[in-house]
Chain A
Amino acid sequence: MKVFGKIGMVLGVAAIVASCHDKRSPNYQFMPDMYEPISYETYQESSAFRNGISAQLPVEGTVARGHIPYEYPNTLEGYAAAKENLTNPTPAEEITDEYLNEGKQLYGIYCAVCHGDKGDGQGILVEREKLLGIPSYDDAGRAITAGSIYHVIRYGLNAMGSYANQVNEEERWKVTEYVLTLKQDLESK
């Protein structure tokens, strides 16, 4: 019996100590030697910069290695020019089923929520009437091309915002190619 009393006492003390942890704040740490970074973490707040964050904007006009600036401006003229002249720089033999499948995955993540899985403008948000006026890809008045699709993903158009910070150049072309297959499917019905 005495033993049980002692075990109970130890467990009781352990329970009391454990209950000191407040779930609304981070727990106690034992000797946090290398827990806090000395270097700047990407999204860390920092008093070293005027706007208080360590993620600073690059200087206008600089080009990072491995990136090609997009030359068409974010204007109606730019849209028209891209629609007319811009094509996928990826060699045709690299546009395989796998390439399109990756486009499909990206489309499912970023686009289908509004444009619908088939590209008919019947995404889940439209079905639930959260927003309206999503056109279908086979809209004859729009007559989208690879260049215009890419341009719109890059800059956005009217109610649609830019997706340039979600998908990179290669991924944009993958989505573009997949959207063209969706357009074909819609038109062939």
Chain B
Amino acid sequence: MASHYEAPIREPLVTGEKSYHDVTVDIAAPVEGRANKLWWIAFSIALVAFLWGIGCIIYTVSTGIGVWGLNKTIGWAWDITNFVWWVGIGHAGTLISAVLLLFRQKWRMAVNRSAEAMTIFSVVQAGLFPIIHMGRPWLAYWVLPIPNQFGSLWVNFNSPLLWDVFAISTYLSVSLVFWWTGLLPDFAMLRDRAVKPFQKKIYSLLSFGWTGRAKDWQRFEEVSLVLAGLATPLVLSVHTIVSFDFATSVVAGWHSTIYPPYFVAGAIFSGFAMVLTLLIIMRKVSNLEAYITRVHIEYMNKVILLTGGVVSVAYITEFFIAWYSGTNYEDYTYLSIGAATGPYWWAFWALIICNFIVPQTLWVKKLRRNFTWSFIVSIIINIGMWFERFDIIVINLSKGHLPSSWSMFSPTFVDVGIYLGTIGFFFVLFLLYARTFPVIAQAEIKTILKSSGERYKRMRDVEGKSIAGAAADPRTSNYSGTNTNSSDQATK
């Protein structure tokens, strides 16, 4: 087609002989079908973990923070580690949906919906920790500047913990709106396909009466772009603010100006790893291999490689500056000889191996295009990024300025239980999402089907044919197309 030029070098983003109808059917299938046994098993395990976590949370709040392994020296440990970890995971979702939209990355379309869902669900998990790690969580509403009867007593706006409140709540609400806006056409698709009255009603409510008029689409695109423009600085600022919790302190190892960009890079690093973990499974169990292809995995691995490189440089910088500063106190920070050989040597080396060494294997093309290896690396990165936060928090606190206050930290079962509970809660939400929401933005996929679909690329680039009308469903179209196989494919 003369009017369209796409470089032949680009790999197809949708494989197989997919028509528009096939896209719809494939994406609606998990929602319209019944859950299989595997789903129920996974859901049950997640639910049990979630309930156990709720039990641990209730136990903590009703008994007191002392049931955790914290002590007077180390007042933050698993709670804030998990908070930062979950917030970090959430960042890839917005990066994929917003930053990649600004950069016009078409490959984002197959992964953005799930990535955003992952954002929402992980920010929900993260949001639990600032509440439950409070000594008196029932007074948590005091963090909000509400006029009151204490002579209108307000919060101090100088604390990064307060900025966290604003950052996380803004981040969650903007992400939710962005996600939901994108869902409207897809919910409308499910609404229009629903045959059972109950489902019809539910998806009618969820789709807000989307009719897909030209004017709606025009505004939809504008809103998406504006929200992407807003969400991008948000992504950068939210984890920056989270990093300020540490960077603005006077604790050796925390007080570091590199933290804001380094935390953001780490967030994207761990977030992409989590997206990979989820999508490598999802493409299999939801039969979405044609949409989440090897090239998607490779692109995500490249982003991981980039951000992993950024955090590695940051580690080296921290290590260098700790030495270069000449400050004795920097001898024990989380990236120093003291940490590598001290009582938390295992946490230090877990960080180095998981974040610094293993992801470097992705430079090898064969490995970064390998699903199994990508999956393994993605899990290793998530473990490594957990250790990064643990190291930053616990190692730096454990050996502070006064040797008489040096201490060790060991978690109790409640620390672990709450963490497992949030993982369970995350998967409860994600598994429910995977069964009820269109996990791929079908409306967006349909916009790239003809430019980046394997079939159309072949027709255009190899066979040199016109693709006009070729995406129509042969069952409803009187177009006698260029490809005789398409009817077999679509009616299967």
Contact = CB atoms under 8 A, between A and B. Distances in A.
Interface string A84-120: 0000000000000000000000000000000000000
A31 B142 CA distance: 13
A31 B62 CA distance: 13
B153 to A, nearest CB: 15
Contacts of B138: 30-31
B423 to A, nearest CB: 31
A71 interface: no
A129 interface: no
A31 B61 CA distance: 13
Contacts of A30: 138
| B contact patch SS | helix
Interface string B134-174: 00101100000000000000000000000000000000000
A30 B139 CA distance: 10
A33 B138 CA distance: 11
Contacts of A33: 136
A31 B141 CA distance: 13
A31 B138 CA distance: 8
A31 B134 CA distance: 15
Interface residues of B, number: 3
Interface in B288-347: none
Contacts, number: 5
Interface in B120-145: 136, 138-139
Contacts of B139: 31
Nearest to A31: B138
A33 B134 CA distance: 14
B390 to A, nearest CB: 32
Interface in A9-58: 30-31, 33
Nearest to B135: A33
A8 B139 CA distance: 29
A187 B253 CA distance: 85
Contacts of A31: 136, 138-139
A33 B137 CA distance: 12
Interface in B94-144: 136, 138-139
A180 B214 CA distance: 102
A161 to B, nearest CB: 43
A29 to B, nearest CB: 12
B158 to A, nearest CB: 25
B93 to A, nearest CB: 35
B149 to A, nearest CB: 12
Nearest to A33: B136
A28 to B, nearest CB: 14
A78 B262 CA distance: 87
Nearest to B139: A31
Interface string B455-489: 00000000000000000000000000000000000
A33 B64 CA distance: 13
Nearest to A30: B138
A104 B139 CA distance: 51
Nearest to B138: A31
A14 to B, nearest CB: 15
A171 B288 CA distance: 93
Contacts of B136: 31, 33
A132 B405 CA distance: 74
Interface in B332-367: none
Interface in A145-178: none
A31 B136 CA distance: 10
A3 to B, nearest CB: 21
A144 to B, nearest CB: 52
A156 B103 CA distance: 95
A65 to B, nearest CB: 37
B61 to A, nearest CB: 12
A10 B138 CA distance: 24
A38 B136 CA distance: 18
Interface in B420-461: none
B135 to A, nearest CB: 10
A33 B135 CA distance: 12
B63 to A, nearest CB: 15
B106 to A, nearest CB: 45
A127 B114 CA distance: 91
A30 B141 CA distance: 13
A149 to B, nearest CB: 47
A31 B140 CA distance: 12
A154 to B, nearest CB: 45
B457 to A, nearest CB: 54
A48 B410 CA distance: 42
B399 to A, nearest CB: 34
Which 5 A/B pairs are nearest by Cβ-Cβ distance? Answer: A31-B138, A33-B136, A31-B139, A31-B136, A30-B138
5 contacts: A30-B138, A31-B136, A31-B138, A31-B139, A33-B136
